[in-house]
Amino acid sequence: MDNRPIGVYDSGFGGLSVWRELCRLLPHESIIYLGDGKNCPYGGRSREEITNFAIEATERLVAEGVKMVVVGCNTATTAAISTLRSRWESMPIVGLEPAVKPACLTTESRRIAVLATAHSLRSDMFLSTTARYAEGIEVLKTVGEGFVDIVERGEESTEKAYEAVRSVVEPLLSEGIDKIVLGCTHYPFLRPHIERVVAGYGIDVIDSGEAVARRVEWLLKRYKIAARSDHKAEYRFISFADKSYRANLEARAKGIIEKLKTEI
Ligand code: DGL
């Protein structure tokens, strides 16, 4: 048993979509969330730059005393996961990958779309995952242009956000796809708009948050580092950006927790 916190890291607010699933599935686990904020967005940056940010973030989380790190960012995972795992060999590090596998296993039309950042879509990791699971399946790669900025500015409930989503997703409707994979952790915050655009087209929207939480649960058991069942979880938020960014993280997380409570 180990009551130390789990560390979750993202370029900004996006990883809160993973944090939410961890809170839901593992209510006794304390979590320290690091939202970089200073260097966000990562999507258009080079692998080297992103790897350096990911190392800095992991160093910080380790200094905070975490027992495990969840890279709640597809872009940072594709760039840096192998570097992080070789630097911190004894600590479990969980990465996030677009849910290409479940989409490929369940598609009937044999055409799927993956929405992700430019970096993720051109990464070796993405190419090898599609080569492995998408034999005979057409994978349309689409960058969610502007999506990350909308979420970072807290504008996801606006009509402007809907229009941005519509302009990216509508062209996919005539492509015969039956799955859209959300391959960036910011995108689940735009899910209501995505679902509104695809309504009536028989297209499932898939993200990785829940699957990652289950993987974390499994690893906690495997390494015997789960928190005690009477442990009261604490949530902390840190950032490389200014104080207001951190306050914003806290406020958003509070909103997510309130919403989770209404679901129970
Ligand atoms: N949330 C991130 C992801 O999952 C990256 C967003 C960005 O910084 O571009 O890919």
> Over the stretch 110-144, which tens digit does the pLDDT of each residue have?
999 999 999 999 999 999 999 999 999 999 999 99
Residue-range definition of the domain harbouring residue 185: 100-206
The predicted model gives 15-32 an average pLDDT of 97
| 3-state DSSP assignment of residue 113 | strand
Where residue 112 falls (left for φ over 0; alpha for ψ -120 to 50; beta otherwise) is beta
Pocket-testing residue among 8, 78, 94, 186, ligand 1, by greatest number of atoms within 8 A of Cβ: 186
36 inside domain:
yes
**Ligand 1 atom at minimum distance from 40 CA:** 8
- Residue 35 in domain: yes
Residues 143 and 108 in one domain: yes
Residues 214, 74: Cα–Cα separation, whole Å: 17
Pocket test for ligand 1, best of 9, 151, 184 (most atoms within 8 A of CB): 184
The stretch 160-166 carries a mean pLDDT of 98
* Alpha carbon distance 155, 86 (integer Å): 38
Q: What's the whole-number mean pLDDT along residues 85-98?
A: 96
pLDDT, residue 50, reads: 98
Residue 53 in this model has a pLDDT that exceeds 90: yes
* Whether residue 201 is found in the same domain as residue 223: no
Q: Do residue 110 and residue 189 come from a single domain?
A: yes
Residues 104, 86: one domain? no
With respect to residue 27, please indicate whether it lies within any of the assigned structural domains: yes
Catalytic one among 23, 40, 104, 184?
184
pLDDT one-digit tens code per residue, 39-51: 999 999 999 999 9
Last residue of one domain, picked from the residues 171, 186, 206: 206
Q: Kindly state whether residues 196 and 244 are assigned to the same domain.
A: no
Based on the residue annotation, tell me whether 73 is a catalytic residue of this protein: yes
Q: Ligand 1 centre and the CA of 182: distance in Å?
A: 11
Residue 68 shares a structural domain with residue 23: yes
**From the CA of 219, how far away is ligand 1's center (Å)?**
24
Cα(160) to ligand 1 centroid in Å equals 20
Give the total number of structural domains in the chain: 2
Phi first, then psi: give them for residue 42, nearest 5 degrees: -90, -25
* Beta-strand pair 138-143/179-182: unpaired
Q: Is residue 1 part of a domain?
A: no
Q: Is residue 187 part of a domain?
A: yes
Supply the DSSP symbol for 183. Answer: -
Asked if residue 75 belongs to a domain, the reply is: yes
Kindly report the CATH number assigned to the domain that includes residue 242.
3.40.50.1860
From 190, 206, 222, the end of a domain falls on: 206
Strands 111-116, 93-94: pairing is: unpaired
Given strand 111-116, what is the order of strands in its sheet? 138-143, 111-116, 179-182, 204-207
Nearest to 195 by CA among 180, 174, 175: 180
Report residues whose beta carbon is within 6 angstroms of any ligand 1 atom: 10-12, 14, 40-43, 73-75, 117, 120, 148, 184-186
Length of the chain equals 264
Q: For residue 199, what pLDDT is reported?
A: 97
Gap between the Cα atoms of 161 and 187, Å rounded: 11
pLDDT confidence bin for 263, thresholds 50/70/90: confident
> Are both 190 and 219 inside the same structural domain?
no
Average pLDDT over residues 225-234: 97
Domain end position, chosen among 187, 206, 225: 206
In this predicted structure, the answer to whether residue 264 has a pLDDT above a threshold of 70 is no
Provide the token pair at 148. Answer: 């990350």
Look at residue 241 in the predicted model and tell me its pLDDT: 98
Per-residue pLDDT, 113: 98
Residues 112 and 197 in one domain: yes
pTM value?
Answer: 0.96
| Residues 122 and 56 grouped into a single domain | no
**Is 221 among the domain residues?**
yes
Sole residue written with tokens 């806290």: 250
Whether residue 154 is found in the same domain as residue 25 = no
Whether residues 88 and 183 fall in one domain: no
Q: 96: CA distance to ligand 1 center in Å? A: 11
Cα distance between residue 235 and residue 32, in whole Å: 6
Q: Which atom of ligand 1 is nearest to the CA of 75?
A: 10
